A and B are shown apart, each in its own frame.
Chain A
Amino acid sequence: MNTQKRVIVVGGGLAGLAGTIRIAEAGLPVDLFSMVPVKRSHSVCAQGGINAANDIARQQGYSEYEHFDETIYGGDFLQHQPPVYEMVHWAPKIIDLLDRMGVPFNRTAESQRDLRLFGGSLYKRTHFAGATTGQQLLYALDEQVRRWEAQGKVNKYEYWEFLWPVLETDDAGRRCVGIVAQDVRTMQIRAFRAEAVVMATGGCGMIFGKSTNSVMCTGAAASRCYQAGAWYANGEFIQVHPTAIPGADKLRLMSESARGEGGRVWVPRTKADRRDPRDIPENERFYFLEEKYPKYGNIVPRDIATREIFDICVNQGLGVGGGNMVYLDLTHLGRDYLELKLGGIIEIYRKFAGEDPALVPMKIFPGVHYSMGGLWTQYTAKDDLRGMAMGSANSMMTNIPGLYAFGEVNYQYHGANRLGANALLSCIFDGLFCGAGVANYVLEGVTTTSARLDQSIYDAAVSQQQEIVDRLINAGGKESPYQIGRELGEEMTAASTVVKSEQRLLRAIEALHQLQGRYQSIGLSDTGMWTNQNLSYARALGDMLKLAEVILQGGIDRKESRGAHYRTDFPDRDDANFLKTTVAKYDPDTGRPEIFLEPVETGLVPPRARTYGKVAASTDTSRPTETVSV
């Protein structure tokens, strides 16, 4: 048996890969687990770019501090401020590092890295590689990990699904000492030992049925950690991206960079105007974001743009052709400019919608996109709160020692609403900054290595998982997992996205309990034990049903509106009662979350009203007043 200390990283997106590189660099072997070849991880879908203070913006009065302030303001003051402060100060260094790795960032005529505008900022501080920045960043990190792999320092377990963390309790308390995972091709279930486990498993869009997420973004891995005792925070904060194109299988993202580069959102002023958009004269177009937000215009943050689009379509009935669509117009920008700056998304729209955005305005509508909430994690702030203590072993550690959460799967940095182009930053930052903390925990904090632990701990963990699988295989019930999954998605989308209310959320909880009940009578059409995707999905569905309850219950308990969480019955922000993190603890007896509130560290920027300079628009608008399922 290998007695050397080692680290497991679960998930091969930006956060997992960056963490892997940093931990390997610290001299620890890494076992990297991913359900898909890591080069196909969901980070590949990120389009617009990555934010960082830069020389041009600095000369206009921008700095890391403004990046920090924008992020906090954009997040409606719900995030702890020291980690954000640290992250934005690493941002320019991260851009340099990616540049050194060979990321083909767009260049100006003078060979400088080009910049674009992005939501929630009046300064150009977004670095980009066409409109496939996430892909390019992921590939750069994938290449570096392959280099470590070639040296034998990283072992990849691709097509392996994380099933459960292995926990051990000794005199010092409970800690994570490995994982149980399943090869999704051979269906073999095995335990793996490690001194620390980093979860970097991304978001949970599949809980909402259709979203902009990839198919593996079920949230099941996070849910399993939560059921094993890790806390889950701010689950109710789900970002609904304002601009996606609908499809039969998913919602395809149309990057915020389309607006950052000058794209304009509008609807015809006349209801159900049937004319070709190109025939509608300028004065008959309602550029509602530009009118209501003269300062930010089309680049207001996502939660605001989404609510305005929802209001225009659902409450005012001004959507294109009377339906749930608005125009995102790029036709004035010129084909060469579009190909150079936005090529990737132009191609997606052309392929999937069959129209050319250089000629015809795109038709878009909001879609579930990102989870601000996630596994609860810790950090150690510097004494003056300006940043995190470098190398601290608890950086992004969950409440279970040895179990970490990096990237979208944790709840830090983005508060109640994430600003565009901050996600790639937070993922890579977690990997690099907190990866050093993991190495310190393993090298200095762990005295009994996992190799010395009794095999029975691991055997028991495996048989527990084997039982779950056997139960599913032998269930033989009438309920189809796909039907339950579909109903879950529809209910969650209707009750818990753009507009919420207590009454609607309570109804959703009731529906969820019924689905959880039906899940007990599930039946699989495939009971074989080779590449059984039916089984993998059914297994994940059970965990999605648990996590959905955290999202709904958090939404019920948070009786205020803040960022992406909008309650018609409590339309205002309530700092006195809810400038707090909602933390969900799994109760194994009831199978339900217990929620408690925890204060937010706001010691650097005091909360202020978040208006983005809104004014009344020419057409009468009102707040969304009812929950409408769309």
Chain B
Amino acid sequence: MVAHTTEPLQTRSVRFRIKRQDRPGRPWRWESFDVPVEPGANVISCLQWIAANPRTIDGRDSNPVAYDAGCLEEVCGACTMLINGQVRQSCSCLIDQYAPRDGDVMRLEPMSKFPVVRDLMVDRQRLFHALTRTKAWVPIDGTYHLGPGPQDTPQSQQVRYKLSECMSCGCCLEACPQYKLEEHESRWDKAFIGAHAISQARLFNEHGTGNVLASDRLDAMIGPGGISDCGNAQNCVKVCPKDIPLTESIAAIGRAVTIHSIRKFFTGK
């Protein structure tokens, strides 16, 4: 609908330096592309341009760069990568802000805490696995009509809504010094679960019905890879694109875990 002219009105060029890897187990390499950028361009529109014109700065024919993308409005979390060393969504990375001058360089790399599938695309399955580990759901009786859910105050709703905006992008994990790359699924249950999952545990423990599983969630947080692995670096909260109060969640779950452990010690439950 909107005027997209065939020829860009005014263009300048930005150099994209992209870390590429053909498939798992292969060596990686840098490739550079000069991309003409229109006002309003973002990293995705530049990757789209490269896909249509995959020629490197030394004139070599290459192929389109593989990357994950979805909504392109920073709400699905798919297009997360490292841009000039910072983890973030590439759709909301506007070139005019990041590389304002002609000839500026943008460095794109895949996230380092997840196995590379190809180029900028990584496998974040472990992140979703952590949601299963946390039992991040409300155990409803079923989908038949049983009336409304538990009452909720506007204050509590605002807390839960904020936590529920987590789009499982993985920025908090990339920035976390305690979260390490684990290629093999067999190790996921013992490795650090990460800030996002701890925050989801808080989200569901705050819900009137979700709370039924609170003790299971806290048990998951006590074991190896649980909350005690958090080194309190607080990087997670700084990089969260949705400003989710991750450190508050970690503190809240930390307190709950302490109380839960004491209770378990005395009651054996």
Residues of chain A touching chain B, judged by Cβ–Cβ distance below 8 Å, are: 21-22, 25, 36-37, 39-42, 44-45, 93, 96-97, 99-102, 104-109, 111, 113, 129-130, 132, 135-136, 139-140, 143-144, 146-147, 149-150, 185, 208-211, 214-216, 240, 244, 246-253, 323-324, 340, 344, 348, 351-352, 354, 365-368, 432, 480, 482-483, 486, 490, 493, 497-498, 525-526, 528, 530-531, 533-534, 537, 630
Contacts and interface: CB of A to CB of B under 8 A. Distances in A.
B73 A107 contact: no
Contact of B138 (A100, A150, A249): A100
Contacts of A39: 76-77, 128, 167-168
B140 A40 contact: no
A143 B136 contact: yes
B interface SS class: loop
Given A40-B70, A102-B138, A132-B165, A352 B92 contact: yes
A490 B54 CA distance: 22
B195 interface: no
Interface stretch (B149-157, B174-182, B218-226, B249-257): B149-157
B143 A25 contact: yes
A210 B2 CA distance: 8
B71 A214 contact: yes
B111 to A, nearest CB: 14
A143 B160 contact: no
A93 B142 contact: no
A533 B1 contact: no
Given A216-B70, A246-B40, A104 B54 contact: no
Contact of A525 (B23, B61, B152): B61
A526 B97 CA distance: 32
B184 interface: no
B196 to A, nearest CB: 12
Interface stretch (B185-193, B204-212, B228-236): B204-212
B73 A136 contact: no
Instruction: Find the residue from A99, A246, A250 having the highest chain B CB count within 10 A.
Output: A250
A interface SS class: mixed
A147 B137 contact: yes
Given A143-B137, A146-B131, A630-B1, A249 B91 contact: yes
B167 to A, nearest CB: 7
Contact of B149 (A96, A340, A366): A96
Contact of B42 (A147, A249, A490, A498): A249
A21 B123 CA distance: 25
A248 B38 contact: yes
B149 A490 contact: no
A215 B64 contact: no
Interface extent on B, as a size class?
35 or more
A513 B161 CA distance: 49
Interface stretch (B43-51, B101-109, B261-269): B43-51
Contact of A147 (B76, B92, B139, B158): B139
A482 B45 CA distance: 13
B124 interface: yes
Contacts of A105: 157
A246 B2 contact: yes
B152 A111 contact: yes
B120 to A, nearest CB: 11
A44 B75 contact: yes
Given A22-B143, A533-B66, A101 B1 contact: no
B48 A101 contact: no
Contacts of B145: 93, 96-97
14 contacts: A36-B70, A96-B146, A101-B138, A101-B149, A102-B204, A108-B154, A143-B138, A208-B1, A249-B44, A324-B3, A526-B54, A530-B22, A533-B67, A534-B64
A100 B146 contact: yes
B48 A106 contact: no
B73 A250 contact: yes
B63 interface: yes
Nearest to B142: A25
A528 B22 contact: yes
Contacts of A22: 143
A102 B2 contact: no
B3 A323 contact: yes
B154 A111 contact: yes
B82 interface: no
Contacts of B29: none
Given A132-B75, A139-B164, A533-B64, 7 more contacts: A22-B143, A100-B146, A100-B149, A215-B70, A249-B41, A252-B72, A537-B51
Instruction: Find the residue from B40, B41, B123 having the highest chain A CB count within 10 A.
Output: B40
A214 B1 contact: no
Nearest to B118: A531
A525 B64 CA distance: 7
A14 to B, nearest CB: 13
B146 A136 contact: no
A367 B6 contact: no
B74 interface: yes
A418 B28 CA distance: 48
Contacts of A486: 52
A185 B42 contact: no
Contacts of B92: 351-352
Given A136-B164, A530-B23, A246 B3 contact: yes
B52 A102 contact: no
B77 A40 contact: yes
Contact of B73 (A146, A150, A246, A253): A253
Contacts of B209: 100, 102
Contacts of B146: 96, 100
A224 B231 CA distance: 51
Contacts of A525: 54, 61-64
Contact of A102 (B51, B124, B210): B210
A490 B42 CA distance: 20
Nearest to B43: A249
B69 interface: yes
B72 A111 contact: no
A354 B139 CA distance: 41
B78 interface: yes
Contacts of A109: 154
Nearest to A139: B164
Given A96-B147, A146-B131, A107 B153 contact: yes
Contact of B157 (A104, A247, A354): A104
A40 B76 contact: yes
Contacts of A93: 145
B117 A185 contact: yes
Nearest to A364: B2
A348 B153 contact: no
Instruction: Find the residue from B1, B66, B147 having the highest chain A CB count within 10 A.
Output: B1
Instruction: Find the residue from B40, B45, B73 having the highest chain A CB count within 10 A.
Output: B73
B246 interface: no
A247 to B, nearest CB: 6
Contact of B1 (A251, A340, A351): A251
